[in-house]
Amino acid sequence: MTTTVPRSVRTALAVVLVLLSSLWAGPMARTLAQEPSPGIGEFPPTPADRPPGAPPAVWAAAAAMGRGVNFGNMLEAPDEGAWGLVVRDEFIDAVAAAGFTTVRLPVRWSNHAEAAAPFAIDPEFLDRVTSVVDRLLARGLYVVVNMHHYHQLDGDPLDRGEFAVDDAVVDVRFLILWRQIADHFRDEPGRLLFELYNEPHRRLTAARWNDLAARALGVVRQTNPDRIVVIGPVDWNQAAALPSLRLPDDADLIATIHDYRPFDFTHQGAQWVHPVPPVGVTCCDAGQRAAAAAPLTAAKTWSDGSGYPVFLGEFGAYSKADMPSRVAYTRFMREQAEARGFPWAYWELAAGFGVYDPLAHAWRAPLKDALLGRGP
């Protein structure tokens, strides 16, 4: 007989263990702090020889995800609030009331877990993410929880406020973080999806990412045998990299891509791009429309051939572009995604690309109408 331990009890036990390990400096505490990290071989990959394609239930779930928005610059900052936003009940209520059906929730788990084995996630942070997930689910939304901005995994420079770990444990730590996340959320309804990683690139070559994703899926399946898992290709989830994505032999999968073409329009004036793209680029002429639509066409071809749905997890235009152009681009992208049957999530709610003004506590109506198929 198998006994299921309620999530509240599991979280309480984790809190007790963290408190005991921090307060008791005896020999056992020192031993726990020096626990050796497991090897990557302890996490066998799911075979990836004959992916079966998604069954009707997964296709139906993808269709039901419909129209979404990313809660960006919140929980994927080094610490919530460091990038100017925290998740507010106001945001959850506004998104649900407006008619969006999905929220993609980027989370920087790597900055809220131990640097050494056993790599325990901070229970307070886990509770915070859980409270957001539960409130979103309570409003009937689909929720896509991912792992975001684990910069060492990609081989990128760290953000201010982000700490490094031993390079030798980076991949194993990623897997053990997923083991904890998956176990914690194992009892949530099927409207909660796991996205293994946001925009793998650089250090994560196609071969390395395919191997690591197959191992991570195996970890997730130990506690979530039927939950839909979202996996994207390398090169920042570009559709052009889909042919290099080797999906595991698992039916309950959705692939994801991001599309920010034409980049000189969508990222004009973006301070984090070097060199900063010049401002003043309008949208959308025939060439720009063709550039924006090409990745979606490539993804549709891949989807038809693989038998798996595609989720357009990010697209959007930065606020340095003029509003009429942003509206035209947004409407075009929404129409193109829906014409191909793709659920989507706009990047993002309330920061530099935001469709919602957090200071005015109001939607930017032209953008919202473009996303929801309203207006001219």
Task: Give catalytic residues, as residue numbers.
Answer: 199, 314
**347, 103 Cβ separation under 8 angstroms:** no
The residue whose two tokens read 């979530």 is 224
> Do residues 259 and 315 lie in contact, with contact meaning Cβ atoms separated by under 8 Å?
yes
Q: How distant is the alpha carbon of residue 63 from its chain centre?
A: 18
* 128 closest CA partner among 169, 172, 77: 77
The CA distance from 354 to 343, in Å, is 19
Measured CA to CA, the distance from residue 79 to residue 129 in angstroms comes to 12
DSSP letter string, 223-283 = T-SS--EEE--HHHH-GGGGGG----S-SSEEEEEE---SHHHHTTT-TTSSSPPPS----
Q: 147 Cβ partners below 8 Å, 6+ apart?
A: 107, 108, 109, 110, 174, 177, 178, 181, 195, 196, 197, 198
Check: CB of residue 229 under 8 Å from CB of residue 220.
Answer: yes
Alpha-carbon gap, residue 346 to 110, rounded angstroms: 24
Cα distance between residue 254 and residue 342, in whole Å: 11
State whether residue 145 is helix, strand or coil.
strand
Distance CA 68, CA 345 (A): 4
